[in-house]
Amino acid sequence: MTLETGTRIGRYEIKSLLGAGGMGEVYRARDPKINRDVAIKVLPPDFSDDAVRLARFEQEARAAGTLNHPNILSIYDVETHDGAPYVVSELLEGGTLREQMGGSSAALPVRKALDYALQIAPSSSSTWRSRRSGRCPPARRARRAL
């Protein structure tokens, strides 16, 4: 389900497609209620009929929504549009982590990755999903968010 610029999804107005992956498409949108840009991740409608994929999408939204840390993406809303679930989150600018790593897809050493993970979510029992470097958008002010 590719949404056109100007399409309304809930109260949000789609501005542009930011990217697409195995779990849906991500859009830049405008929230007119509080006058800010947000990111909207939409699960494709054909995935909505797949109970496993739908459960995974909902689990990802719940897991992210329970975490509160400056380096973790804030979730604002979870809704459905024309049968397709979507998550509204803060919009991070500045390219992806992969872009900042010079396009490298090399993995971080395990110890360094675990150290970062423990700093970000030390008491969380959340399962991390879709956290590839090409999908990890760094925010302004050198802040990183998963």
* Tens digit of each residue's pLDDT (9 = 90 or more) over 58-93: 888 888 888 887 778 899 998 988 888 899 999 988
Answer yes or no: is pLDDT of 128 > 60: no
- Six-digit token string for 72: 């973790």
Answer yes or no: is pLDDT of 97 > 70: no
Q: What DSSP character marks residue 20?
A: E
- Six-digit token string for 133: 């470097």
Q: Answer whether 54's CB lies under 8 Å from 47's CB.
A: yes
Does the pTM of the predicted model rise above 0.85? no
Answer yes or no: is pLDDT of 121 > 70: no
pLDDT grade for 126, boundaries at 50, 70 and 90: very low
Q: What DSSP character marks residue 66?
A: H
Q: Which residue has the higher pLDDT, 140 or 34?
A: 34
Q: What DSSP character marks residue 48?
A: H
Q: Answer whether 145's CB lies under 8 Å from 139's CB.
A: yes
Answer yes or no: is pLDDT of 35 > 90: yes
Q: Which residue has the higher pLDDT, 103 or 88?
A: 88
Q: Answer whether 89's CB lies under 8 Å from 76's CB.
A: yes
pLDDT at 141: 47
CATH second-level architecture of 8-135? Answer: 2-Layer Sandwich (3.30)
